[in-house]
């Protein structure tokens, strides 16, 4: 992790409330970015409002050009302020932080299933890119509210197969992404690992399906954070089965945000 003053190269709207920032790093990152890691972003300057950094997952990393991309949803004041950045402006970046999706166990020719919902989708794009580079087959199940709210799916198509759903049926199959995954599993779809990021109900549906797949599954969690480095204990989540004398919790910022499915409770 490193604190850097990056320069915004591009800010492009992907949907009415989702945008993509591309930033150029002045220094090389000390270690390769793991898909699933995040950065703590803040508009440069001494303004006290908004005060805290915003933890945003990395959606792409170009090592050669030394730039990072973030796909962000406008939710509150901080993300709205980020949406107004224009090329040439400075963005204060602290990262990369956290532990990403493990991929070392997958070999060429094996098959990874990616499951993403809404604004949980962006970190899976960097994962798909990395897996494709390892010649791991990728099938991405991507769920959106509607066609108007859909983004990035064409880019996933570069790295593998895509299976789309939308809540209103305007794009792909009508319904949620886990019910499509369940149907595909019923029809004999097999993989070697599952990776998921999305809203809590989606992750819970995936956990209910877990008995149907024996492969390792990893989920990326979200939690309100302050420090991002494990010091403030704001982003705690409960472990499912701690041994006596062991810690009962994990921190989303440093132990996660990616956890093996079943390691921690999926709750707010």
Partner 1 sequence: MSKSLETKLGPLTLKNPIMPASGCFGYGEEFAKLYDISQLGAVVVKATTPEPTLGNPTPRVAETPAGMLNAIGLQNPGLRRVIQEKLPFLADYQVPVIVNVAGKSIEDYVAVAEALSGVDVVSALELNISCPNVKEGGIAFGTRPGPAAELTRAVKAVTNLPVFVKLSPNVSDIVKIATAVEAAGADGISMINTLQGMAIDIYRRRPVLANVTGGLSGPAIKPVALRMIHQVYKAVRIPIIGMGGVSSATDVVEFLLAGASAVAVGTANFVNPYIMPEIIAQLPEVLEKIGAKTVQELIGALETN
| Contacts of partner 1 in 56-115 (CB under 8 A) | 76, 78, 94
Instruction: Answer yes or no whether residue 264 interacts with partner 1 by CB under 8 A.
Output: no
Residue 19's SS3 state is strand
The four Cα atoms 79, 18, 65, 102 give a dihedral, to 10 degrees, of 90
Q: Which is nearer to partner 1, 53 or 73 (CB)?
A: 53
Q: At its nearest, how many Å lie between partner 1 and the CB of residue 105?
A: 27
**Counting beta carbons within 10 angstroms of the beta carbon of residue 260, is it exposed (0 to 12), middle (13 to 18) or buried (19 or more)?**
exposed
Q: Which is nearer to partner 1, 24 or 44 (CB)?
A: 44
* Near partner 1 by CB under 8 A: residue from 87, 210, 231, 242: 231
What is d(CA 165, CA 150) in angstroms, rounded to the nearest whole number?
10
The four Cα atoms 150, 151, 155, 160 give a dihedral, to 10 degrees, of -40
Q: Which is nearer to partner 1, 52 or 157 (CB)?
A: 52
| Contacts of partner 1 in 1-20 (CB under 8 A) | 1, 3
What is d(CA 121, CA 266) in angstroms, rounded to the nearest whole number?
18
Euclidean distance between the first and the last CA atom of the chain, given in angstroms as a whole number: 27
Q: Please report, for the chain, how many H helices and E strands are present, in that order.
A: 5, 16
- Binding segment for partner 1 (CB under 8 A), chosen from 99-107, 164-172, 202-210, 224-232, is 224-232
Size of the site for partner 1 (CB under 8 A): 33
Q: At its nearest, how many Å lie between partner 1 and the CB of residue 13?
A: 23
Query: Helix 177-186 to helix 200-209 angle, to the nearest 10 degrees?
Result: 20
Instruction: Answer yes or no whether residue 53 interacts with partner 1 by CB under 8 A.
Output: yes
* Near partner 1 by CB under 8 A: residue from 105, 107, 158, 224: 224
What is d(CA 55, CA 72) in angstroms, rounded to the nearest whole number?
10
Cα 18 versus chain centre, distance: 14
- Binding segment for partner 1 (CB under 8 A), chosen from 16-24, 107-115, 189-197, 233-241, is 233-241
* Near partner 1 by CB under 8 A: residue from 175, 230, 239, 262: 230
- Binding segment for partner 1 (CB under 8 A), chosen from 14-22, 65-73, 139-147, 219-227, is 219-227
* Near partner 1 by CB under 8 A: residue from 154, 211, 240, 248: 248
| Contacts of partner 1 in 157-196 (CB under 8 A) | none
**Counting beta carbons within 10 angstroms of the beta carbon of residue 236, is it exposed (0 to 12), middle (13 to 18) or buried (19 or more)?**
middle
24's tokens: 């150029």
* Near partner 1 by CB under 8 A: residue from 170, 179, 229, 262: 229
- The residues binding partner 1 (CB under 8 A) are 1, 3, 42, 46, 48-53, 76, 78, 94, 223-237, 247-249, 254, 268
């Amino acid at each position: 992790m490193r604190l850097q003053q990056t320069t915004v190269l591009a800010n492009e709207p992907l949907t009415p409330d989702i945008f993509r920032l591309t930033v150029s790093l002045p220094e090389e990152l000390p270690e390769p970015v793991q898909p699933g890691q995040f950065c703590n972003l803040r508009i440069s300057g001494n303004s006290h409002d908004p005060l805290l950094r915003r933890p945003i997952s990395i959606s792409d990393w170009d090592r050669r050009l030394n730039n990072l991309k973030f796909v962000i949803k406008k939710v509150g004041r901080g993300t709205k302020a980020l949406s107004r950045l224009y090329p040439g402006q400075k963005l204060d970046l602290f990262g990369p932080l956290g532990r990403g999706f493990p991929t070392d166990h997958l070999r060429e020719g094996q098959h990874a299933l990616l499951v993403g919902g809404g604004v949980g989708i962006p970190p899976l794009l960097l994962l798909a890119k990395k897996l494709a580079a390892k010649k791991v087959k990728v099938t991405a199940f991507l769920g959106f509210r509607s066609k108007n709210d859909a983004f990035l799916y064409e880019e996933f198509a570069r790295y593998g197969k895509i299976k789309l759903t939308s809540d209103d049926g305007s794009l792909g199959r009508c319904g949620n992404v886990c019910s499509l995954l369940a149907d595909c599993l019923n029809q004999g779809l097999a993989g070697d690992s599952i990776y998921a990021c999305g809203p809590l109900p989606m992750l819970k549906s995936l956990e209910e399906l877990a008995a149907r797949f024996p492969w390792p599954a990893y989920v990326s969690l979200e939690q309100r954070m302050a420090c991002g480095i494990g010091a403030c204990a704001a982003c705690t989540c409960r472990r499912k089965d701690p041994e006596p004398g062991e810690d009962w919790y994990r921190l989303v910022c440093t132990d996660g945000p990616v956890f093996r499915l079943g390691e921690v409770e999926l709750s707010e």
